[in-house]
Structure 1
Amino acid sequence: MLTSVIEANQPQERIRREIYGHFAEHLGRCIYGGFHVGEQSVIRHEQGLRLELIEALRRIRIPVLRWPGGCFADEYHWKDGIGPLTLRKKMVNTHWGGDVEDNSFGTHEFLHLCETLDCAPYISGNVGSGTVSEMQEWVEYITSDAVTPMTELRRKNGREKAWKLPFFGVGNESWGCGGNMRADYYADLYRHYQTYVRRYGPERIS
């Protein structure tokens, strides 16, 4: 007969809370009509964020929120989602119903959402249809406090101080909607892209 002894007073390992993160994609009503109702909405909101949802997520204390996808991440071009709303480029969301995406929920709105929820942001970079330069500039725009064209652009768009960005993904589902890539091809791309996803601030990017 075998006997198992559980020594509850002698913990061995600690499970990181970040594995219980959440996910936000431009799919259905997850973003528009979900997190983001816009500043003109009659729904109770704070800077366009649906307060009912914010309050619910605060109660469960989500540790991480990932955005912009999902499949949408590999067709998302971040510069289309910054600056004045009326000047943001529209696009067709080819993965999810062919809806017209107006980019009114972009980098600033997402990072403001994470600050409001007191959770860590996780951004998925565009490998499928993007470029190394585009990804590198996005990380610089978010995390650098140096005087560069990207940080000047961020300040012009209303954010003086860099954000913390602990998590950054190099593509999404690259075997399928992220480009139908073979494993060895994606591995080479990953090595290439991750070289330029540099830490611009004091915080490490995972």
Structure 2
Amino acid sequence: MKIRRREFLKSAALAGPAALIASRAVYSQAADSRIDVLINEPIGTVNSNLYSHFVEHLGGVVYDGIWVGEKSKIPNIGGIRKSLVDALAKLKPGVIRYPGGCFADQYDWRDGVGPREKRPTRVNFWADTGYKAPESYKQLDSGPQKYEPNWFGTDEFLKLCRLTGAQPYLAANLRSLGVSEFMQWLDYCNAKPGLTTWSSKRAANG
């Protein structure tokens, strides 16, 4: 279809004002629109696992932090610092992860179960050796931050979780141990007493 130049200019001249009027009408409608924000109306539930915490054997996190010992003058619940338990319980953590982090790569969970006086002491390769140990730990060279005494292990960690209402999150050591050792750890924690060797040991450990 051919259109002459004069006809094109005439059509364009008529279309311009019409487009302007239409755009003003749209703008007028937009100006009359509104957005209502309902601040008191719930829109969903936040997963409690988002509010979780992390425990690792580094610096003073465990020793002199969480674990003060049953004979400590510091108020404690079975050796676990009471003020920390009270504070964590108020936060209602979804899960607590243990024992790391980097520390998990060297951790053998079997070192941290059974009578504490029989638990082995290991070198903590991830330790902050500049940390000054409190007086009660000076019998250990450089303190428990460098030489891990395993006073706080699986049983103590699970107790911390029960006291604070959190679910335990176990970080597997797949760097220096294997899958079978992790399965034994799950066995120790979850199997009914008397059904397996590890669950029987857990029962014996209280």
TM-score by length of 2: 0.71
* Amino acid of the structure 2 residue aligned with 1:123: L
When residues 9 and 91 of structure 1 are mapped into structure 2, their CA distance, relative to the original with a 3 A threshold, is same
Residue 79, structure 1, aligned to residue 110, structure 2: yes
5 Å-filtered alignment, 1:42-191, equals 42-97=73-128, 99-145=146-192, 147-158=195-206
**Bigger radius of gyration, 1 or 2?**
2
TM-score by length of 1: 0.71
For residue 128 of structure 1, report the CA deviation from its aligned partner: 1.2
Any idea what the Cα deviations from partners look like across 1:165-204, whole Å, max 9, x if unmatched? xxxxxxxxxxxxxxxxxxxxxxxxxxxxxxxxxxxxxxxx
Residue deviations 1:29-60 (CA, integer Å, cap 9, x gap): 11100111011211111110111111122222
Identity across matched positions, percent:
39
| Aligned AA (2:50) | I
Question: Which ranges in structure 2 are unaligned for 5 or more consecutive residues?
Answer: 1-29, 130-145
**Distance between the aligned counterparts of 2:186 and 2:105, measured in 1?**
16
Distance 1:56 1:10, change over 3 A: closer
Which residue of 1 is the match for residue 5 of structure 2? none
Write 1 or 2 for the structure with the bigger share of helix.
Answer: 2
The offset of 1:13, in angstroms, is 3.7
How far does residue 7 in structure 1 lie from its aligned partner after superposition? 4.7
- 1:23 Cα deviation (Å)? 0.8
Q: Which amino acid aligns with 2:72?
A: S
Matched residues, number: 158
Who is 2:138 aligned against? none
In the TM superposition, what is the alpha-carbon distance from 1:100 to its structure 2 partner? 0.1
Q: List runs of 5+ in structure 1 lacking aligned partners.
A: 159-206
Report the residue type matching 2:59 in the other structure: G
- The separation in 2 between residues aligned to 1:135 and 1:102, in whole angstroms, is 21
State the one-letter code of the partner of 1:80.
Answer: D
Given the superposition, is the C-alpha separation of residues 144 and 8 from structure 1 closer, same or farther in structure 2, using an over 3 Å criterion? same
Q: Distance between the aligned counterparts of 1:61 and 1:92, measured in 2?
A: 33
Residue 155 of structure 1 aligns with an amino acid whose one-letter code is: A
Distance 1:89 1:149 in 2: 21
RMSD: 1.9
TM-superposed CA distance for 1:63, in Å, is 2.3
Three-state SS of the structure 1 residue aligned to 2:198 is helix
Q: 1:91 to 1:19 in 2, by over 3 A?
A: same
Per-residue deviation at 1:12? Answer: 4.4
